[in-house]
Amino acid sequence: PRRRSASHSFARERRRASFPMKFNLFLSACGAASYYFREQISHSTWITAGCFFLVGANVLVNEFFLGGSRKYYGKTHDCTGDVVLITGGNKGIGFETAKELAKFGAQIIIACRSERRASTAVRSIRSYSKNDNVSYEILDLESLKSVHDLVDRLTKKKIQIRYLINNAGVAIEKSTTIDGFNSQFQINHLSHFLLTNLLLKRNMITDNGRIISLSSLAHGVGGADIHLDDLNSTRSWKRLKMYGNTKLMNIVFTNELSRKLLRIGSKITANSVHPGAIDTDFSEHVVPNPWIRWLTRPIAILLTDPPVLGAQSTLFAALSPDLETKSGVYIDNCKVKRPVGKAQNIPKHYKLMEDFWEVSAKFVGQSNVI
């Protein structure tokens, strides 16, 4: 099928993404002016304007001192014949990633739990990309059996995957899966660990394949850590800390996978990605109260980027020629960067990575893993 140029849609999204920046310039100016005329206006108006100023200043500091807004990968590729398997490709960052790769001609398989949402996403991706080679598979990441079933179906179809994108992730309240694990732990790490290993064991990833796991900047904040004797957080529980822990696990898993692939002489690469602060339904997990979420929605829009921008670093990790031989790296804003916090020293902690791998393998009942 004919693939349209990315330039028009990229330009449109760039204008959309630049709106918060321009609007916050306006807010900052209003806030500064209100402070100057604070004696002539009411106290409540001054407080409101002050809040506007703080919101605007936050974005301006990010723009000029912390690297700025998210970048577009912005390059076109011919992915005809390449197969993409992406978890959680029915919405958010995963959906935007699938759209762009489909536009480049790749065969897209989105794996998610809801058949209704999956079929809707497939129709949208086909319409956007003019590529009919888009399908879905049912995958419930809260079930290890569902992971096995997915790989069995793909095996029967003789699928060979060029890009495995471990995209799905949650930050939900404490709950337990049917396998007895904490839901965040199983969805964000354990099921993806099993999926990746099963595909590798069955030689279902091409020799030049790329494995991409979505992490987050949360891996280095809020005391995120890995406790090998309590990966499942049975002793203590804090929702956002657990999320940070699992995002740190994504990096540790990716680094150890990279080492193991290198050790056996494989050219398959494994890298982790931070998508950025993106406007997705993640806020439903962080702020479960719908009224508070509604009240804070305007600020959330101002401080985040649209999902298409969150997909850019994943596209960079999948398609950039510069990463053809680079493995075990952390990617942020379409650049290879050092992770933050305790993850900075992870590549040196071979024993931790090996032990973490062994514990994960034990949890999923896989002794003979790569």
The full DSSP string for 101-151 is: HHHTT-EEEEEES-HHHHHHHHHHHHHHHT---EEEEE--TT-HHHHHHHH
**Is 165 found in the same domain as 48?**
no
Structurally, the chain folds into a number of domains equal to 2
Residues 204 and 275 in one domain: yes
Domain range for 39 is: 7-65
Across 64-73, 111-120, 242-251, 325-334, least confident range: 64-73
- What does residue 305 show for φ and ψ, rounded to 5 degrees? -105, 160
Q: State the Cα–Cα distance between residues 83 and 162, nearest whole angstrom.
A: 5
Q: What is d(CA 48, CA 341) in angstroms, rounded to the nearest whole number?
A: 35
Residue 225: what pLDDT? 74
78 in any annotated domain: no
Q: Is residue 370 part of a domain?
A: no
Residue 283: per-residue pLDDT: 54
Please choose, from the candidates 82, 278, 16, the residue with its C-alpha nearest in 3D space to the C-alpha of residue 167.
278
Across 173-251, the runs of DSSP E, i.e. the strands, are 205-214
Predicted confidence at residue 30, as pLDDT, reads: 53
Average pLDDT over residues 105-131: 97
Task: Point out the residues that are catalytic.
Answer: 243
Where is pLDDT greater, at 278 or 33?
278
pLDDT given for residue 293 in this prediction:
54
- Indicate if 194 and 225 belong to the same structural domain: yes
- Residue 295 pLDDT greater than 90, yes or no: no
| CA dihedral angle for residue 7, residue 8, residue 12, residue 17, rounded to 10 degrees | -10
Diameter over CA atoms, the chain: 75
* Confidence band for 276, pLDDT divided at 50, 70 and 90: confident
Angle between helices 43-65 and 290-303 (to 10 degrees): 50
- Asked whether residue 369 is domain-assigned, the answer is no
Asked if residue 105 is part of any domain, the answer here is: yes
**Predicted local confidence at residue 56, as pLDDT:** 52
Residue 72 lies in a domain: no
User: How many of the other CB atoms lie within 10 Å of CB of 301?
Assistant: 14
Across the range 344-362, mean pLDDT stands at 84
Poorest-pLDDT segment among 80-84, 97-101, 287-291, 354-358: 287-291
User: What pLDDT does residue 131 have?
Assistant: 98
Decide if 17 is inside a domain.
yes
What number of other Cβ atoms are within 10 A of residue 275's Cβ?
29
What distance in Å separates the CA atoms of residue 11 and residue 50, rounded to the nearest whole number? Answer: 33
Supply the CATH number for residue 274's domain: 3.40.50.720
Same domain, 241 and 118: yes
What integer is the mean pLDDT of 201-218? 93
pTM: 0.80
Q: Does the structure show a pLDDT above 80 at 185?
A: yes
* pLDDT at 280 (0 to 100): 58
Same domain, 242 and 325: yes
- Cβ pair 272, 213 in contact under 8 A: yes
Of the pLDDT bands very low, low, confident and very high (cuts 50, 70, 90), residue 244 is confident
- Mean pLDDT along residues 283-300: 56
Asked whether the predicted pLDDT for residue 187 surpasses 70, the reply is yes
